[in-house]
Every structure is written in structure tokens, then in C-alpha cells.
């Protein structure tokens, strides 16, 4: 079975060395020494400030909205993302307002944001989809002009740099996911990267129930992560450059073999990428489904990521037309990508994709060149 993703695991002996430290100190959670060490090393690796490791990427978004005092208002966001981006807004009792995406990189279209702003708009929550950057300069210009906060869901953007600095450093707050399927993981986990020190201090307090010892200062939640998760992060961080290099190897081979058969995201200048996913767009939903079924017959998994377009969620109170997102979401899938995926398996996957498409009388190779 070839899964669409496979978690990287460090040598078990190296993880066990960290576990011995936990056993020696009997310190399991509550911002323990390994968690603090991980935060310090990640700040250094990413070259960012005001960095908080938290329970997961979804809680990171909730903390961001709360820390910026965004309550009972509208948040402009993208329909092309994992569902947590939208449901986090709703959990925080705010209203998601959807703006369509750019067709070349699948990120929110900044040219359409301003028309969606109302007197009740409080923030823009954009997503660096598959680790490709939003137009951060235009988004910030719009936010400054209308006095809006900017949150980036950067779940896919670990170790991505844009214009010479971490993509996580843009916006008022960026959030990251350290879920087991991500480029860098702590099994479960996430992070908030905060521009303002005051807001950062608020997150530090809020993630620990809102109190210091017996001094209750904020309405908080439990967003702490454990020493066991920190241990996995510390063990994995040693290998992150190797992991990214192997993901690049797989991506480059896919690019070579599938050129002319599928559409890929547009290249971005001044981007140092992490090769988080391998998304491909087909000519039609029928082509996509046929390819997925052909792969499935050979026990190979491809995922419709992201589907459906979030503006079509059944529990939304308002309806939004986002034709580009709806179209892309119907034709896009991610092919298997992980560090130890062999060249032979990549060749097998590509041969199945190409064979399936070639058998279609109406399939035009030049359409996706």
C-alpha cells in the first residue's frame, strides 16, 4: 500500500534518549524543559520571535483570534483550505466571509478582498495553501487601510522562506501545524508566531488557563503540549533539512514525468519551498476520479485535497459564490509524497496517471502544459 503521506520517524534510540530525560525529571507537561528547549530551537531554526508551541494547529488559530480580541465580527477568509480554517472562526463566534482564490496558486485573491469588507469586518484570515505564499504585501496594504488584523493559517508553511525571511513572520499572527502528516511534526502539535510582544504575552497566559500560580488574569484554555510531544519534535528537528531534500527529490521526479499531463501551482519568485504536498489539477472532475480509481486498484492512495470548497459547507448561515475555488476543488488531488517514497514507486504512480489519461479520447495533453 502506498499512502498519500507517511509520517517521518527518527531513529527510535534517539527518541528514547529524550524519554529517559522525562523519566529522570518526572516532568510530563506544563511547559516542561523539553518543551521550552523545543520552542527555543524552533525560534532559532525559523529565525522568528514570540514563538509558542501549542496543542495543535486548530487551537493555534483559536488562540490567534482570541488574542487579537476579535469577537462577534466578520473575518474574511478563503474557501480553499482544510475545514478547520472555517470552523475555528465559527467556534470563536465570528462569521466567515468567503473571498475567491487565485487560479494559479490557490491562495485568497487580494483583488477581491476589499469588496467584501463591511463595517463589521475585523480581520483577514488567509491560508498559505500547500505552503505557497499569499500576496502578503497586498493583503497587508488592505489591512492597514481598513484597520484590520491579519492572521495567516500557515499550517503547510514550516521552513518556507519568502523574500529572504520565514513565511511564518508575516501578519499579526501566523499559525502552524505540527500534526504527524506535516513536514515537521510532534505527533500532535502546532504553533503561534506573533508580531506584537503584548499579544504574545497574552497567548502565553491564555494557553495556560489564563493564570500564573494563583493570579488569575485572563479567560484561558488548556493549549499546552506535553514533554512527550516535545521529545518527538526535538528528535525530528535534527533531520528536517534531510526530510525536505528527499521531498524535493520526489517532487522533481514527479515534475519531470508528469509534465504536460497535469496542471501544477505557478512558480513563485524568491521562494524557498518545503515540498509539503504534490497537488495536481486535472482537466475535469471525471479525469480526477478515473485517476484516483486507477491508483486505488493498485493500492495507491491519492487525496482530494481540498474538497469540497468550504463556501459549500452545509452548516453555513450565508451562501457565497466562489466559482474558481469550486472549480479547482473539483479537479485537484494530492499524489503520494514523503521522504522515503522510492523513485520506482513514483514512476509506477506516474505511469498509472498517464495511462489513465491517455485512454481518454477527449484528453488533450497540451491543455495542461
CA dist list (Å): 283 to 20, 61, 262, 363: 53, 34, 8, 8
Q: What is the mean pLDDT of the chain?
A: 96
Q: What is the pTM of this model?
A: 0.95
Distance in Å from the first CA to the final CA of the chain: 30
Band (pLDDT 50/70/90 cuts) for residue 218 is: confident
Which of 55, 32, 60 has its CA nearest to residue 194? 60
The answer, yes or no, to whether residue 7 has pLDDT greater than 80, is: yes
CA dist list (Å): 61 to 122, 191, 204, 244, 295: 15, 9, 14, 25, 35
Task: Give backbone dihedrals phi and psi of 143, rounded to 5 degrees, phi first.
Answer: -60, -45
Q: In whole angstroms, give the CA distance from residue 188 to residue 366.
A: 42
CB 96 within 8 A of CB 75: yes
CB 352 within 8 A of CB 295: yes
C-alpha cell at 274: 518545503
C-alpha angle 243/136/153, rounded to 5°?
55
Looking at the DSSP assignment, which residues form a beta bridge with residue 98? 77
Close Cβ partners of 269 (under 8 Å, ≥ 6 residues apart): none
Q: In whole angstroms, give the CA distance from residue 223 to residue 202.
A: 13
Q: In whole angstroms, give the CA distance from residue 187 to residue 98.
A: 31
Burial tier of 187 (Cβ tally within 10 Å: 0-12, 13-18, 19+):
middle
* Alpha-helical segments (H) within 197-339: 197-206, 227-237, 240-258, 285-297, 323-331
Q: In whole angstroms, give the CA distance from residue 166 to residue 107.
A: 18
The answer, yes or no, to whether residue 334 has pLDDT greater than 50, is: yes
C-alpha cell at 310: 468550504
* Alpha-helical segments (H) within 259-340: 285-297, 323-331
Q: In whole angstroms, give the CA distance from residue 314 to residue 5.
A: 28
Close Cβ partners of 27 (under 8 Å, ≥ 6 residues apart): 33, 227
pLDDT digits (tens, 9 = 90+) for 84-117: 999 999 999 999 999 999 999 999 999 999 999 9
What's the pLDDT score for residue 369? 43
What's the pLDDT score for residue 212? 81
User: Quick one: residue 201, left, alpha or beta (phi over 0 = left, psi -120 to 50 = alpha)?
Assistant: alpha
C-alpha cell at 124: 483577514
C-alpha angle 354/355/359, rounded to 5°?
115
Q: In whole angstroms, give the CA distance from residue 312 to residue 328.
A: 13
User: Which of the listed CATH numbers 3.40.50.720, 3.40.50.300, 3.40.640.10, 2.60.40.1170 matches domain 12-237?
Assistant: 3.40.640.10
Band (pLDDT 50/70/90 cuts) for residue 34 is: very high
Which sequence spans correspond to the domains of the chain? 12-237, 240-360
pLDDT digits (tens, 9 = 90+) for 221-277: 999 999 999 999 999 999 999 999 999 999 999 999 999 999 999 989 999 999 999
Q: In whole angstroms, give the CA distance from residue 223 to residue 56.
A: 8
What's the pLDDT score for residue 366? 47
Q: Does domain 240-360 have CATH number 3.90.1150.10?
A: yes
Amino acid at each position: 500500500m502506498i499512502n498519500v503521506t507517511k509520517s517521518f520517524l527518527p531513529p527510535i534510540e534517539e527518541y528514547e534518549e529524550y524519554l529517559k530525560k522525562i523519566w529522570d525529571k518526572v516532568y510530563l507537561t506544563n511547559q516542561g524543559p523539553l518543551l521550552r528547549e523545543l520552542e527555543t530551537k524552533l525560534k532559532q531554526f525559523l529565525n522568528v520571535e514570540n514563538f509558542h508551541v501549542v496543542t495543535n494547529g486548530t487551537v493555534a488559530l483559536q488562540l490567534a483570534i482570541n488574542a487579537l480580541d476579535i469577537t462577534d465580527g466578520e473575518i474574511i477568509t478563503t474557501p480553499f483550505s482544510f475545514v478547520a480554517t472555517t470552523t475555528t472562526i465559527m467556534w470563536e463566534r465570528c462569521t466567515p466571509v468567503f473571498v475567491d482564490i487565485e487560479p494559479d496558486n490557490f491562495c485568497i485573491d487580494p483583488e477581491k478582498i476589499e469588496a467584501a469588507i463591511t463595517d463589521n469586518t475585523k480581520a483577514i484570515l488567509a491560508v498559505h495553501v500547500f505552503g505557497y505564499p499569499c500576496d502578503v504585501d497586498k493583503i497587508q496594504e488592505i489591512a492597514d487601510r481598513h484597520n484590520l488584523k491579519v492572521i495567516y493559517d500557515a499550517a503547510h508553511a514550516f521552513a518556507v522562506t519568502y523574500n529572504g525571511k520565514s513565511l511564518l513572520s508575516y501578519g499579526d499572527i501566523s499559525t502552524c501545524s505540527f500534526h504527524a502528516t506535516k513536514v515537521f511534526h510532534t505527533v500532535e502539535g502546532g504553533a503561534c508566531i506573533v508580531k506584537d510582544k503584548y499579544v504574545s504575552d497574552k497567548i502565553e497566559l491564555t494557553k495556560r488557563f489564563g493564570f500564573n500560580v494563583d493570579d488569575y488574569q485572563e479567560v484561558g484554555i488548556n493549549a499546552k503540549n506535553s514533554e512527550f510531544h516535545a521529545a518527538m519534535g526535538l528528535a525530528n528537528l535534527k533531520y528536517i533539512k534531510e526530510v525536505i531534500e528527499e521531498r524535493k527529490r520526489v517532487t522533481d521526479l514527479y515534475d519531470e514525468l508528469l509534465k504536460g499531463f497535469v496542471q501544477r501551482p505557478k512558480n513563485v519568485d524568491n521562494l524557498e519551498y518545503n515540498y509539503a504536498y504534490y497537488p495536481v489539477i486535472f482537466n475535469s472532475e471525471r479525469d480526477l476520479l478515473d485517476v484516483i480509481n486507477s491508483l486505488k486498484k493498485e493500492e495507491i492512495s491519492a487525496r482530494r485535497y481540498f474538497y469540497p470548497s468550504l463556501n459549500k459547507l452545509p452548516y453555513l448561515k450565508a451562501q457565497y459564490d466562489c466559482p474558481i475555488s469550486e472549480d479547482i476543488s473539483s479537479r485537484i488531488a494530492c499524489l503520494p509524497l514523503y521522504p522515503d517514497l522510492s523513485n520506482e514507486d513514483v514512476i509506477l504512480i506516474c505511469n498509472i496517471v498517464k495511462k489513465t489519461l491517455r485512454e481518454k479520447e477527449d484528453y488533450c495533453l497540451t491543455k495542461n502544459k
